Amino acid sequence: MPSALATTFRVLADSGNEAATDVLIAALDSPRPRIQDEALRTILERRSVAGCREILRRLHAAPAPWRTILAEYQGRMTGALRDAALSTETQVCENACQAILWFGEYDLVPSLVTAAEDTKNPNSDLVAQTVLSLAEALYHELATPHDYTHRLEPQRFRSHAISGLEPTLEHFPQHRKTELVEACLVLVDRDNVTLQQILHDADHPSHAGVVQVLRTSERPGIIRLALSFLEEHNAPAAAVEILAQRADLKFLRHLLNKSAGDLNVTATRNLRRMHDFSLLAGDLSVLDQFDDRQQAGAIQLLKFSGVKRDSVFRVLRYVLSKGKAQARRAAIRALEDFSGAEANQLTDAAAGDEDAEVRATALAQLRNRGIPGAMRTLIMNIDNPHEVVREAVRESLKEFSFERYLGAFDMMEEEARHATGELVRRLDPSTLSRIRQELELPSRTRRLRAIEISVALELVPKIQSELVELLTCDDHMIRAEAASALAASPTTTAVAALQKVVDDPSFSVQEAAQDSLRQIARHMAPSADEGGNS
């Protein structure tokens, strides 16, 4: 059964007599919290304008449960909030602005803008700040997924808010409130007609004010807007200049992160319109404050920009010396477009970089630059543990391929065969398989040459089984060459195979087998002696 107190408030809620409102307003000041709370609920249920106005008058001193109760009846105070926000009474206005922010009353933006633009309104600054805070909150909702089952989608609020804020851009010379300009720019896109007109017209009365906000505000929505002009086909000159001249670290981090990604044709075209960057002003140690990706983004940005080449080179030099790994990779790639002694020195130094990708990119440039000692440096990296480095070396020394070596072998002196062969063996991974292919061909000449090459490249142990098999072929010249080559494979398998052909019908085969056995015996003798002395 309902309590007497509950019954009383039920009667007051249903009463059509306005005197009931006076009773409920008085109850708001009751020393008993329960009575205060029930009075608050009942006023909200009655939708009493006078009652809501009194609630707002007390809001700054209200107990904590009031906010929860007010949230349950969100929307029932919209009219009172609008009136209170327009009030000349500072406390009432402050309370209304606080409640508007609590409950995200975005529909009130146009009304608040009117109050903020009113130069005679003593609370215009407070309202202007509320508009900005409301726009920020809406921007956050737009950027963050929410459940809107019981509320309108924020895009609808955004459209309504922009319609109220857009005129403030043109009214700026009159109201001079940057908060209103910021609120508008937080929510609009770059294709907003009013914004485009102002930015394209340097003589527009609001041009300087709007540009100043875009140049200095660190609000996420405004940074987003400024960066979006990078990808506009006909970006205003003022917007391009803002991108180049903003020097605050927060903006620069966003810009450099964007530059580190894939830039489309429009973005690179706009970058070419930029002939200077705040990054280049003064000490380049500012780059140390950026992470790896951002430093790399700086290189990418400068690479496509219209900045003078000596300024770009200055950054490349700094990054190659002090930058992080990803940035050094971008810098050494960009250095390919520069020539001269200093560029060569940087490349030569980068060929010893601890990062495999930096080293590989530098090594790939050495020979084209004609750097002294390039061949020696490349050869030193043939067996580098990193595949990317080995691949760069192979590409730089691609003339040392088995195919070319095979074609020139017959014309080479013995010394050249061994020196060049060593490089071919180390650089061309197909060498061993190609020798095996040559040994299977029907051509005597090709097979004999393949055996000679295996000796020159010191690969006889690798193809021992193929050579042993050739000792039984029909061609005595091939048998003799195979027997001679096996001297370079001092194994029991080779010895057994050679012993079988010492009585070969061909004298040349016999002689080759015997000679190889003697060489193998001499090779194995020291090992036997060492074993006997131990």
pLDDT for the residue 530: 44
Alpha carbons 207 and 200: distance in angstroms, whole number: 9
Alpha carbons 330 and 313: distance in angstroms, whole number: 13
> Same domain for 433 and 479?
yes
% of the chain exceeding 70 in pLDDT: 90
pLDDT for the residue 89: 87
pTM of the entire predicted model: 0.77
pLDDT for the residue 533: 41
pLDDT for the residue 486: 94
Alpha carbons 112 and 101: distance in angstroms, whole number: 12
pLDDT for the residue 13: 57
Q: Span 12-26, mean pLDDT?
A: 64
Q: Span 111-135, mean pLDDT?
A: 94
> Same domain for 436 and 467?
yes
Q: What is the pLDDT of residues 347-367, one digit of tens each?
A: 999 999 999 999 999 999 999
> Same domain for 379 and 416?
no
User: What SS3 string covers 165-191?
Assistant: HHHHHHCHHHHCCHHHHHHHHHHCCCC
Whether the Cβ atoms of residue 88 and residue 121 lie closer than 8 Å to each other: yes
In a domain, 6, yes or no: no
Using alpha carbons, list the distances in angstroms from residue 183 to 158, 159, 214, 223. 11, 13, 12, 13
In a domain, 305, yes or no: no
Q: CATH number of the domain that 427 lies in?
A: 1.25.10.10
Q: Which domain holds residue 360?
A: 341-384
In a domain, 478, yes or no: yes
> Same domain for 359 and 441?
no
> Same domain for 406 and 521?
yes
Q: Where among 384, 418, 451 does a domain terminate?
A: 384
| Number of domains, the chain | 2
User: Residue for token digits 């530098």?
Assistant: 362
In a domain, 414, yes or no: yes
pLDDT for the residue 480: 95
% of the chain exceeding 90 in pLDDT: 73
Q: Span 332-346, mean pLDDT?
A: 96
In a domain, 438, yes or no: yes
Out of 20-24, 140-144, 188-192, 369-373, which region has the weakest mean confidence (pLDDT)? Answer: 20-24
Q: What is the pLDDT of residues 423-476, one digit of tens each?
A: 999 999 999 999 999 999 999 999 999 999 999 999 999 999 999 999 999 999
> Same domain for 376 and 473?
no
